[in-house]
């Protein structure tokens, strides 16, 4: 795996100083290695994107749409290999890996349709003043850097890559060093489709490579998904360049269960919100707010449901939840188990790493967690659920909003008028009502407060890669 970087339409060997070890988290063992890109190779990738920009942004909307549909078709043709790689490198159960791939395919198809509508978006602007005419142009923002995380590789990159290409931007993509292999499919597809050289570039590496890209003065925009600590560094580099940035960061999301809710349905929604991808989601609903009248019935059933989840190697077992994706994340989650013991939290389920090979932890439930507990306030990024009781709707809203994050929330209630009212009051970017976390490409994704800046998906995702230009002409 030495030729792991796709620059100016060619596969090249890494020339950086870091060796990236790619691991199977179910075994805790590496199965591939690759050399990181050097700072000079990042420069080459940005230069290639800059050189390709004039021709690419001049292509017709229908041409760009055809390439995007080609990406969708080619992803489908690689289906089994990509699903298996997700299972092996991320530890995802097969169903989750399949949904990820289908999400990526749908994203490219959706933005192909939006690309074809772009000419209609250049329109005349009526003016109150006589003697002038005005029109609006939507132009690509330029060369964009895309930095994507390890928890949803292929998917998060599709959410960025498809609208960027649809808008007419050229791209330098940096995958996570934890999961660097699956995004190489995009370079292979670019080759297969004959995508012009330099339109898509892929550089792999660790922090040095990411910093070289985010600090590069040849970018016109940077889009980053990841932790708040790294996101703040990305934002600082963007401010130094006065450059636009999209940040999709962390979350500490609430799921609010009212006492008129069906207990079994509530358990299903709660378990999905904390165990999907082993809880390694910025959108994980890791704060459970349960109304007094249903708490005594719900918590024991929730405890049993979490204890009955099948945890194991998705490549060899029928599982509901796989391992954590990296040893670093496994150690982090284990440290929160230790903190819970120090704080004397009431553990109803789990609360420990599993004694087996690989990076497995048990699905975990803590009850009556104080609001000042680190487990209630900090993003853990693992299958760790903290529960508190509430009495009134007003209290539920106040406690759900009492967070420095504002990404998503879920509301569970048979009273749909109340559920809609609570959804409107929650300070987040996306709310589900009586549902698992179904994410559709037509809707927006992004948060408020410390959960980021900007939106992805839907038409908002496309507009993030467009610049608005007005042309005003004197008619006299």
Among 233-247, 285-299, 376-390, the minimum mean pLDDT is found in 233-247
Under the banding of pLDDT at 50, 70 and 90, the label for residue 439 is very high
Q: Is the dihedral of CA 389, 392, 395, 397 positive or negative?
A: positive
What pLDDT, on the 0 to 100 scale, is given for residue 307?
98
Q: 94 in helix, strand or coil? A: helix
Write out pLDDT tens, residues 138-180. Answer: 999 999 999 999 999 999 999 999 999 999 999 999 999 999 9
pLDDT > 70: what percent of the chain? 99
442 catalytic residue (yes or no):
no
Residue 3: the pLDDT is: 67
Which two three-digit tokens encode residue 365?
A: 């439930």
Q: Among residues 147, 263, 273, which one has the least CA distance to residue 214?
A: 147
Question: What pLDDT, in 10s, does the model give residues 205-253?
Answer: 999 999 999 999 999 999 999 999 999 999 999 888 899 999 999 999 9
User: For residues 74 and 108, what is the distance between their CA atoms, to the nearest angstrom?
Assistant: 11
pLDDT greater than 60 at residue 2: no
pLDDT mean over 439-451: 97
Nearest to 185 by CA among 440, 2, 456, 4: 4
254-440 folds as Aldehyde Dehydrogenase; Chain A, domain 2 (3.40.309)
Catalytic residue among 96, 177, 183, 248: 248
pLDDT at 283: 97
476: burial class by Cβ within 10 Å (0-12, 13-18, 19+)?
exposed
- Rounded Cα–Cα distance for residues 186 and 405 (Å): 32
Domain 5-249+451-474: top CATH class? alpha beta
What is the token pair recorded at 151? 């928890």
Is residue 199 scored above 90 in pLDDT? yes
Q: Catalytic residue among 261, 282, 386, 412, which?
A: 282
What mean pLDDT comes out for the span 308-333? Answer: 97
Q: Does the pLDDT at position 357 exceed 80?
A: yes
Confidence (pLDDT) at 4: 87
In 59-133, alpha helices (H): 61-77, 79-90, 94-116
Residue 19 appears among annotated catalytic residues: no
Q: What is the pTM of this model?
A: 0.96
Average pLDDT of the residues in 73-96: 97
CATH 3.40.309.10 residue ranges of the chain are 254-440
pLDDT value, residue 214: 95
Q: How confident is the prediction for the chain on average, in pLDDT?
A: 96
Q: Does 1 have pLDDT greater than 60?
A: no
At residue 121, the pLDDT reads 74
pLDDT (average), residues 464-469:
96
pLDDT at 403: 98
SS3 content of the chain, % helix, strand, coil (to 5): 40, 20, 35
| 16 pLDDT higher than 90 | yes
pLDDT band for position 120 (50/70/90)?
confident
Where do you find CATH 3.40.605.10 in the chain?
Answer: 5-249+451-474
């Amino acid at each position: 795996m030495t030729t792991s970087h796709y620059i100016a339409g060619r596969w090249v060997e890494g020339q950086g100083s870091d060796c990236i070890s790619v691991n199977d988290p179910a075994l805790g063992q590496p199965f591939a290695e690759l050399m990181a890109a050097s700072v000079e190779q990042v420069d080459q990738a940005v230069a290639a994107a800059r050189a390709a920009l004039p021709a690419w942004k001049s292509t017709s909307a229908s041409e760009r749409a055809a390439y995007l549909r080609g990406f969708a078709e080619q992803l489908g043709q690689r289906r089994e290999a990509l699903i298996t790689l997700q299972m092996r490198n991320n530890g995802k159960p097969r169903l989750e890996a399949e949904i990820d791939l289908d999400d990526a395919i749908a994203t490219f198809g959706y933005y192909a349709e939006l690309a074809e509508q772009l000419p209609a978006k250049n329109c005349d602007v009526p003016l109150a003043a006589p003697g002038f005419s005005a029109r609006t142009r939507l132009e690509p923002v330029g060369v964009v850097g895309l930095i994507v995380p390890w928890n949803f590789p292929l998917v998060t990159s599709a959410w960025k890559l498809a609208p960027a290409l649809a808008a007419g931007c050229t791209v330098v993509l940096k995958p996570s060093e934890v999961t660097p292999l699956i995004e190489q499919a995009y370079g292979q597809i670019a080759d297969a489709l004959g995508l012009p050289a330099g339109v898509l570039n892929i550089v792999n590496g660790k922090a040095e490579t990411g910093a070289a890209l985010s600090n590069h003065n040849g970018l016109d925009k940077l889009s980053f998904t990841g932790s708040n600590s790294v996101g703040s560094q990305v934002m600082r580099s963007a401010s130094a360049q006065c450059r636009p940035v999209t940040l999709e960061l962390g979350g500490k999301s609430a799921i609010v269960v009212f006492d008129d809710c069906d207990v079994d349905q509530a358990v299903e929604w709660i378990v999905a919100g904390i165990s999907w991808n082993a809880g390694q989601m910025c959108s994980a609903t890791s704060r459970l707010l349960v109304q007094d009248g249903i708490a005594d019935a719900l918590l024991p059933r929730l405890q049993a449901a979490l204890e009955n989840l099948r945890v194991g190697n998705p490549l060899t077992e029928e599982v509901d939840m796989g391992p954590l994706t990296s040893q670093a994340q496994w150690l982090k989650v284990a440290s929160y188990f230790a903190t819970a013991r120090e704080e004397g939290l009431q553990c109803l389920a789990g609360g420990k790493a599993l004694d087996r090979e690989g990076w497995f932890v048990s699905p975990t439930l803590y009850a009556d967690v104080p609001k000042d507990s680190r487990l209630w306030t900090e993003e853990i990024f693992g299958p760790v659920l903290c529960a508190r009781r509430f009495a009134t709707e007003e209290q539920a809203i106040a406690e759900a909003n009492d967070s420095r994050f504002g990404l998503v929330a879920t509301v569970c209630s048979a009273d749909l008028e109340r559920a809609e009212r609570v959804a409107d009051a929650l300070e987040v970017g996306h709310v589900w009502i009586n549902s698992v976390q179904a994410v559709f490409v037509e809707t927006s994704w992004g948060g408020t407060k410390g959960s980021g800046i900007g939106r992805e998906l839907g038409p908002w995702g496309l507009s993030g890669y467009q610049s608005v230009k007005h042309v005003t002409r004197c008619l006299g």
